Amino acid sequence: MTSRERFLAACACQPVSRPPLWVMRQAGRYLPEYRALKAKSSFLEMVRTLELATEVTLQPLRRFALDAAILFSDILVIPEALGQGYHFRDEGGIGMDRALQSRADIDALAPAEAVPEKLAYVSATLRMLKTELGGQKALLGFGGSPWTLATYMIEGGSSEAS
Amino acid sequence: MIAYFRAQIEAGADAIQIFDSWGGLIAGGDYNAASLCWIREIVAALPKDFPVILYAKGTAAQLVDQSFTGVKVISVDWTVPLRTVREQLPRTIALQGNLDPVLMNLSPEIVRNEAGRLLAEMNGAPGHIFNMGHGIMPQARIECMEALVDTVTGWKASP
């Protein structure tokens, strides 16, 4: 049984000899090889560049026998594609380039139909990952829930309490 | 979100995880109208039986409602005993989780013990994806990840 088969069986509640394993934020700062890449490129460059996003996604799988890879990206690529960019504040936390404060601010966002084209790099990264994984490991995509995205878009970033 | 997830599926994603990271801020009575109803709409628009995982931190009281959104998997944070959640939710819903990520900053021995305890608690119940209850932290130790992988991949259900 491949890791991918094990993962999909567990999703379908079919019995498996042991649970599949992956770890949220498995491609992250605890890995020295991630920090080495991060020293050369910003987080946003890593997200947007096909080769870098693929490399970062695969880093934990080279080191550990995990059953799934999760796309290296951020939930805030959606507001960004709608015209509301984001950045990491020097003091920590996330800042949106502006906050949505009125109906007019919302109306000024790009139409939802523009999203897939603006995020074509995400599809390209997933395709490259699919090839790299050769069907052995499960490949996960992700996104934020509408509520959670709205909290960032209306607040203008992460708040003190977070 | 629907178009974005469809594009991810078309590009080869085997599953999609929806992060409702701030779902736990919502007053209990408003949770459905503020968050869950949109998630339900998204899941309904994706291919039938496509595995969608829902992770909403701090929503222990809402897990049963989450299981009626059409998602196949519910990712549970570290604050709830996973066995208890297993007993509350329909058998057709898989659970993901839910080791406390802070353990990964401690020692491999602690990780082996706690991961082993979680595995024993679930004892191979179908529909379990092993994961943390939240993202692994920058302070996590590589030795702890090694201990976790060894423990989970080497595990066998007791007869």
Query: Which of A16, A18, A139 has the most B C-beta neighbours within 10 Å, making it the best mutation to test the interface with B?
Result: A18
Q: What is the pLDDT of residue A160?
A: 62
Q: How far is A38 from chain B (nearest CA, A)?
A: 13
Between the alpha carbon of residue A162 and those of residues A137, A151, B99, the distances in Å are 34, 12, 21
Residue B82 is encoded by which pair of tokens?
A: 């996973």
How does B95-112 read in b/e, with b if 16+ C-beta sit within 10 Å? bbbbbbbebbbeebeebe
CA dist A143 and A162 (Å) reads 20
Collect all residues of chain B within an 8 Å Cβ-Cβ radius of residue A71.
Answer: 8, 13
Span B113-125, average pLDDT: 96
Helices then strands (H, E): number in chain A? Answer: 9, 4
Q: What is the pLDDT of residues B3-21, one digit of tens each?
A: 999 999 999 999 999 999 9
Collect all residues of chain B within an 8 Å Cβ-Cβ radius of residue A36.
Answer: none
Q: How far is A119 from chain B (nearest CA, A)?
A: 8
User: What averages of pLDDT result for each successive group of 10 residues across chain A (162 residues)?
Assistant: 98 97 97 97 96 98 98 96 92 91 95 92 98 97 97 89 46
CA dist A50 and B69 (Å) reads 33
Span B118-139, average pLDDT: 97
Q: What is the pLDDT of residues B54-79, one digit of tens each?
A: 999 999 999 999 999 999 999 999 99
| Bond before B98 cis per omega within 30 degrees | yes
Q: What is the pLDDT of residue A162?
A: 43
Map out the domains of chain A with their CATH numbers.
Answer: 3-155 (3.20.20.210)
DSSP states along A81-131: HTT--EEE-TTSSEEESS---SHHHHHTSPPGGGHHHHTHHHHHHHHHHHH
Residue B136 to residue A63, Cβ atoms within 8 A: no
CA dist B46 and B9 (Å) reads 9
Collect all residues of chain A within an 8 Å Cβ-Cβ radius of residue B23.
Answer: 145, 147-148
**CA atoms in the 13 A half-sphere facing the CB of B94:** 31
A152: closest chain B residue by CA: B22
Collect all residues of chain A within an 8 Å Cβ-Cβ radius of residue B16.
Answer: 140-143
Q: What is the pTM of this model?
A: 0.96
Query: Which of B2, B5, B17 has the most A C-beta neighbours within 10 Å, making it the best mutation to test the interface with A?
Result: B17
Q: Is the pLDDT of residue B147 over 60?
A: yes
B76: closest chain A residue by CA: A24
Collect all residues of chain A within an 8 Å Cβ-Cβ radius of residue B143.
Answer: none
**Averaged pLDDT of chain B:** 96
Q: Is the pLDDT of residue B159 over 90?
A: no
Q: What percent of chain B has pLDDT over 90?
A: 98
Torsion sign (Cα): A76, A81, A82, A88: positive
Q: How far is B42 from chain A (nearest CA, A)?
A: 9
- Annotated domain spans of chain B: 1-75, 99-159
